[in-house]
Amino acid sequence: MKRIWKYLREFKKYCVLAPLFKMLEATFELFVPLVVASIIDKGIGASDINHILKMSLMLIILAVIGLTVSITAQYFSAKAAIGCATSMRHGLFSHIQSFSFSNIDECGVSTIITRMTSDINQVQNGVNLTLRLFLRSPFIVFGAMIMAFTIDFKAALIFAVTIPLLALVVFGIMFTTRPLYIKVQAGLDKILAMTRENMTGVRVIRAFNQENVEKEAFFVANDDLTKLSKFTGKISALMNPMTYLIVNGAIIVLIYIGAVRVNSGSLSQGQVVALYNYMSQILVELIKLANLIINITKALASAKRIDDMFNVESDMQEGSIEAMKPADEDNAVEFNHVSLRYKGGGDEAISDINFVAKAGQIIGVIGGTGSGKSSLVNLIPRYYDISSGQLKIFGQDVKDYSYKCLRDNVVTVLQKARLFKGSIRENLLMAQPDASEADMWEALEVSQSKEFVEKKAKGLDEFVEQGGKNLSGGQRQRLTIARAVIKKPRILILDDSSSALDYATDAALRKAIKNMEEAPTLFIVSQRAASLMHADQIIVLDDGHMVGLGSHEDLLASCKEYQEIYYSQFRKEERA
């Protein structure tokens, strides 16, 4: 809740002005009966048509003022609600950008998306309604009560009892339904995730004729959501009938007490009518309020969920060093008894790794599926924090660098090639905003993508769909490599990122990187011995442990695991 205040405070002015103008409007409404009374008393009473016309003009003037005031109120409240939502979205999005990988893993992509979209929408509606109408109701309710007290103290005590009773019902229902609305939202999240899954997995689902299974599962989840919504709705549906009962019950008592007091001479008939009118006015307000309360409850539930997301704190502390030492530092990367255990994961993903990569070297990382290759290289740009040991980049602990410095100098190309929607040019500029046309073509040439980009109708401006869906796997991979190369990093990590390339292209790629002007320290993670055999050092991993370190020749002579890998790929040719 605090968070919403923070964002609302930015629009303090509007938040105050909107209800203020609403109250003005209500006040002008209260003048109308007085004018009408004057028409009846003076106009009709004295048969003064002039007065009637004058007073009617007065009514029209009141209407015009009401219109102006009310539109102003609407404007301010729309401005506050939307401004608040817009800046909240900005705040949340920025906050999420500070999440570490494990944060995102924990929250889940689809949950984050719902928070960003439908939850903030709910809050926007809630704020708008609150400013426009919610604050008007107490004004009328308490105003009516005060007026009642000026008429007759004893009869007005009924108001003093009725209003807390009404508050009990209104807030009681709000209180019970709030957790229910949170559950409804969770059900909605589930449906959202399923919808998404049905699109990301469309090929597999259709290949296995799973359409019906998926549909059934969706139907079940949707049914659960419907049931829960209906249950919650049933409780909310009590609001109107209950307030109606209470207010009219109070009217019955009011008339009875009125009858007694009129009989004893302490109250007039007209005063009873006035008291009754005030009670009715309260009812009308409450009916309006009841219609809003559902939306406001939903908004509160959403606000809480948004707040939860804001409360997720990044689990890494950023360092402060802004620049890496110049290249005279010899040891580019130094692993010193490094181990990594993932949050919530069981065993160590990698254990006790020791090696030194000299600047400019090519380091190969090889090993079986799940042996920890990616885990190892993910530590270098500090995607995850090591659990024990020490990891130094150019002589400094990796934790001492600022993220920007670290990631400007260490670039990883991931196995899963991800491109963003936009042109090829925009995708390249994403890595290096000030890259020139020549830089771009150079990067494309190094990554072996020049040829196919040239063939595209629009060249660099060819459009890339979300996720690069309109490119082949190999093209995507090469473009992601181009995007990395254009940064001219000090350390470049290719995490199995040429798996979709054929051998010829793969070889040409490695050669091109080696021949780059300022050749980076290069880490190549691969399953193919052919991609690594010319590396300066090869790290052989097995089940998270380093079982070999050395050149191709050394390892082929001494490392059993490496031999197995190698001979599984080069059978007859090498043995012959």
Q: Which stretch binds another protein (CB under 8 A): 175-183, 266-274, 330-338, 388-396?
A: 266-274
Residue 264 binds another protein, judged by CB under 8 A: yes
- Of 116-145, binders to another protein (CB under 8 A) are 116-118, 121, 124, 128, 132
Residue 504 binds another protein, judged by CB under 8 A: yes
Residue 470 binds another protein, judged by CB under 8 A: yes
Residue 195 binds another protein, judged by CB under 8 A: yes
Residue 480 in tokens: 């992601």
How far lies 552's CA from each of 88, 118, 135, 535, in Å?
55, 55, 76, 7
Q: Which stretch binds another protein (CB under 8 A): 4-12, 165-173, 393-401, 472-480?
A: 472-480
Identity (one letter) of the amino acid at 335?
Answer: F
Q: Which stretch binds another protein (CB under 8 A): 142-150, 208-216, 318-326, 389-397?
A: 208-216
Q: Give, to the nearest 10 degrees, the angle between helix 424-431 and helix 473-485.
A: 40
Q: How far from the centroid of its chain's Cα atoms is residue 428's Cα?
A: 26
Of 408, 372, 401, 407, which Cα lies nearest the Cα of 387? 372
Rounded to a whole number of angstroms, the minimum distance from the CB of residue 549 to another protein is: 18
Identity (one letter) of the amino acid at 191?
Answer: I
Among residues 10, 214, 315, 352, the one that binds another protein under rule CB under 8 A: 214
Residue 423 binds another protein, judged by CB under 8 A: no
Rounded to a whole number of angstroms, the minimum distance from the CB of residue 143 to another protein is: 18
Among residues 245, 323, 327, 557, the one that binds another protein under rule CB under 8 A: 245
Rounded to a whole number of angstroms, the minimum distance from the CB of residue 292 to another protein is: 10
Among residues 14, 114, 144, 380, the one that binds another protein under rule CB under 8 A: 114
Residue with Cβ nearer another protein (487 or 490) = 487
Cα dihedral angle (164, 165, 171, 172), rounded to 10 degrees? 140
Residue 154 binds another protein, judged by CB under 8 A: no
Cα 1 to Cα 298: distance, rounded to the nearest angstrom: 13
The interface mask with another protein, positions 70-89, x = CB under 8 A, is: xx--xx-xxx-xxx-xx--x
- Of 91-110, binders to another protein (CB under 8 A) are 93-94, 96-99, 101, 104-105, 108-110
- How large is the C-alpha radius of gyration of the chain? 36
Number of chain positions touching another protein (CB under 8 A): 184
Q: DSSP class of residue 401? A: B
Among residues 20, 238, 312, 321, the one that binds another protein under rule CB under 8 A: 238
Residue 60 binds another protein, judged by CB under 8 A: yes
How far lies 366's CA from each of 192, 218, 546, in Å?
39, 42, 10
Residue with Cβ nearer another protein (33 or 337) = 33
Residue with Cβ nearer another protein (212 or 328) = 212
Rounded to a whole number of angstroms, the minimum distance from the CB of residue 487 to another protein is: 7
- Of 361-390, binders to another protein (CB under 8 A) are 367-371, 374, 381, 383
How far lies 535's CA from each of 190, 500, 510, in Å?
47, 20, 10
Cα 337 to Cα 400: distance, rounded to the nearest angstrom: 18
Rounded to a whole number of angstroms, the minimum distance from the CB of residue 490 to another protein is: 14
Residue 430 binds another protein, judged by CB under 8 A: yes
Residue with Cβ nearer another protein (318 or 554) = 318
Cα 262 to Cα 501: distance, rounded to the nearest angstrom: 97
Residue 313 binds another protein, judged by CB under 8 A: no
Q: Give, to the nearest 10 degrees, the angle between helix 2-9 and helix 120-129.
A: 70
Among residues 130, 137, 447, 475, the one that binds another protein under rule CB under 8 A: 475
Q: Which stretch binds another protein (CB under 8 A): 162-170, 175-183, 413-421, 517-525?
A: 413-421
b/e for 76-114, b at 16 or more Cβ within 10 A? bbbbbbebbbeebbeebeeebeebbebbeeebeebbbeb
In 201-268, which ranges are continuous DSSP H helix? Answer: 202-207, 211-236, 239-263
Residue 234 binds another protein, judged by CB under 8 A: yes
- Of 523-552, binders to another protein (CB under 8 A) are 527-530, 534
Residue 516 binds another protein, judged by CB under 8 A: no
Cα 189 to Cα 16: distance, rounded to the nearest angstrom: 35
Rounded to a whole number of angstroms, the minimum distance from the CB of residue 163 to another protein is: 18
Cα 364 to Cα 385: distance, rounded to the nearest angstrom: 22
> Are 135 and 19 within 8 A, CB to CB?
yes
Residue 206 binds another protein, judged by CB under 8 A: yes
Q: Which stretch binds another protein (CB under 8 A): 146-154, 327-335, 389-397, 461-469?
A: 461-469
Cα 159 to Cα 529: distance, rounded to the nearest angstrom: 86
